[in-house]
Chain A
């Protein structure tokens, strides 16, 4: 995109906002108008609430919104993964039914992929969906489901054929989360929070038209969802900050953000809080310990280089260059940084590293770091899976021989709970 195009787009969006932005409108009403204009998600297709513009122009458009404090469409949470999946694989009827209510924030979504028996091996899902002639009946269990307790809709990966090989027997559904056959329970984590849920299905129902794609397309469609999850990690964060302007529409947006962001409040601690390392080293005088200085410097360099590596990947993407190895390495780098940070925080805190809550350093924040960091090398793909992906896709090393071919019912798996 050249300067002229960006300038013209800025001009267009400014003009539209000048004519339409209404801070006095109820949030959902405003968002309906915004969604219909195409300026809420300008990179989406023109037929579906977008303007078919390159993603690269989103920042300029967002700038224009921010400049006058105009509220955007609802973009945080799992909803954008749902939207991307529906755009890629949904029928026109699906798009017409779901997309607008995603953008207005009327509907919340959750993602039902992980199971007690299939974590890294997501395609080993055993939650089953059986067609009874008129509708699908779902039985089984999912877990690590964010927002399941207040979601209207779920993206469900379930097994529909046990005689096909593992990846081919899965199908992808949109399931109504508000029905009696679904029980949602909080899942308490080792750091004390309960940010996720376990979801139990007992003859839960899915209407026939809520199958996405064809029977057996489940794995392919799940890959779309996961690819979007990886790519969009930054956008989710950027949109999680509430405006501090006064007014009803902002109050509504703040309440929405507070609800959606609630499960993520310990995420900065999970990443290791590298920003706290120097202040902590200074307040404890550890900054004078030559051994700790080595560990601190090593950590700060790793964290900084990790940021630049991610920036290199983004820059290559913006310049339209082929993806280098940088893009696949960020998650692994972040995981190394988190672990190193936890070790340094422990060393800096000395005996106080044994204390939590108000007895612990920084009112328990350090303890929260130490007890949250183990999630980083697991969530969203374990380090071991990341290493496999990097070795096989980036370096081109051969795959491990597999023992899970043939009909899925014969594949060795975990005992049913």
Chain B
């Protein structure tokens, strides 16, 4: 349903929201962001045992719950709202989608159940040095070895890349002749020649890593054909998922800001009674609601295999990126000095949206992509 949620979806959201409020108070967020792993493994297991988080959009025969992208969106939105620190984006979204789109059934049956149960985690490494979001910026090319493939080179901006048990790597097949000859490879975290370095990030609640490959043994996934389309589809699903996360975070930022504006007294009245402040809040609400309309629609389009889904994914990401950044910026502004302190929680959400607005392509990049995919000539 593109314009509303079902009662079941609303109930699911309600359960999630209560669960996450208990699991992920800001004290837990601060603990997780200060840790090297970035999340608490016991808590991650609990989430998956209780609510089947990681497999919400995975078919039942692979151990998942068999729901679709709208339900995945609900999970992402609520996690964004709670700023929950978990290997969800890397493992449950990026790696799981890469496997769903680019691996054989047998490979899916081999990898997915452990990801769904939370026993193991995975991630997707596709970007390299530089900051380009086009998959044609990939340069890494696999070599054939006696019993498989070897990878050399550097992958960057790998979400939870320092902790994932399995890394799905996008690189050219050895005999590649064109851009579509990208293949997906599975690399075990403990492989020889793989160096993993945790990058220092603006958003400490989301860990990014640099992975250096020196003749690392890799296993090629899929039927052997080009995987560029599978990678593109994976990134589209991930873009809509993080767009959900951003509208969830934006909603949390707006709500905490409005609450503060009602309570904070200056010049003998609550600051929320000044039009300069209340108009900002209303303008943020409008932007967030517009973004939600686009984000929910994009997920429904993915569930329905709508041919417009690729363009709609870019629209969702662009609108959510700008709305969330606006919500974060105004949240700090309206909180005033206290909002710029480390002890106040606003900066945690601000950093998440500041960073996620860039992840998987910023608003300008997605606007260009949207126009390319929708305008008749370009």
Contacts and interface: CB of A to CB of B under 8 A. Distances in A.
Given A387-B283, A391-B282, A308 B270 contact: no
B375 A308 contact: no
B293 A308 contact: yes
Contacts of A178: none
A387 B283 CA distance: 7
6 contacts: A282-B375, A294-B364, A296-B371, A304-B294, A304-B315, A333-B290
A329 B323 CA distance: 15
A207 B272 CA distance: 47
Given A287-B378, A296-B371, A333 B294 contact: no
Interface of A: 278, 281-282, 287, 290, 293-294, 296-298, 300-302, 304-306, 308-309, 311-312, 314-316, 319, 321, 325-326, 329, 332-333, 336, 384, 386-388, 390-392, 394-401
B227 to A, nearest CB: 28
B279 interface: yes
Contacts of A386: 282
A329 B262 contact: no
A229 B263 CA distance: 35
Contacts of B286: 329, 332-333, 336, 390
Given A302-B319, A309-B293, A329-B289, 14 more contacts: A282-B377, A287-B375, A290-B368, A293-B368, A297-B371, A304-B315, A308-B3, A308-B293, A316-B4, A326-B289, A388-B278, A395-B278, A397-B258, A397-B281
B275 A301 contact: no
Given A301-B294, A397-B278, A312 B3 contact: yes
B374 interface: yes
Interface string B260-295: 011000000110111101110111011001110110
Interface residues of B, number: 40
Contact of B376 (A278, A306, A394): A278
Given A287-B375, A287-B377, A305 B2 contact: no
A293 B369 CA distance: 10
Contacts of A290: 368
B367 A301 contact: yes
A259 B318 CA distance: 44
A311 B3 contact: yes
Interface of B is mostly: helix
Interface in B276-326: 277-279, 281-283, 285-286, 289-291, 293-294, 296-297, 315, 318-319
A399 B275 CA distance: 9
Contacts of B368: 290, 293-294, 297
A293 B274 contact: no
B285 A325 contact: yes
A212 B88 CA distance: 62
B133 interface: no
B246 to A, nearest CB: 14
Given A282-B376, A302-B290, A294 B367 contact: yes
Contact of B282 (A282, A304, A321, A387): A387
B278 A387 contact: yes
Query: Which residue among A278, A296, A397, A400 has the maximum number of chain B CB atoms within 10 Å of its CB?
Result: A397
B289 A325 contact: yes
Contacts of B149: none
B370 interface: yes
Nearest to A392: B278
Given A282-B376, A395-B285, A293 B290 contact: no
Contacts of B374: 300
Contacts of A321: 4
A384 B278 CA distance: 10
Nearest to B363: A298
Given A325-B289, A391-B279, A397 B273 contact: yes
Given A304-B315, A398-B270, A309 B282 contact: no
A390 B315 contact: no
B318 A315 contact: no
A298 B367 CA distance: 7
Nearest to A296: B371
A381 to B, nearest CB: 13
A397 B262 contact: yes
B258 A309 contact: no
Interface string B334-378: 000000000000000000000000000000100110110011111
Nearest to B364: A294
Query: Which residue among B275, B283, B289, B376 has the maximum number of chain A CB atoms within 10 Å of its CB?
Result: B289
Contacts of A300: 370-371, 374
Contacts of A395: 258, 278, 281-282, 285
Nearest to A398: B273
A300 B367 CA distance: 10
A111 B291 CA distance: 36
Contacts of B269: 398, 401
A298 B370 CA distance: 10
A407 to B, nearest CB: 25
Given A282-B377, A293-B367, A293-B368, A396 B262 contact: yes
Contacts of B370: 297, 300-301
Contact of A384 (B279, B290, B371, B376): B279
Contacts of B297: 308
Nearest to B370: A297
B347 to A, nearest CB: 22
Contacts of B294: 301, 304-305, 308
Nearest to B283: A387
A281 B378 CA distance: 10
A305 to B, nearest CB: 4
Given A309-B289, A394-B285, A301 B273 contact: no
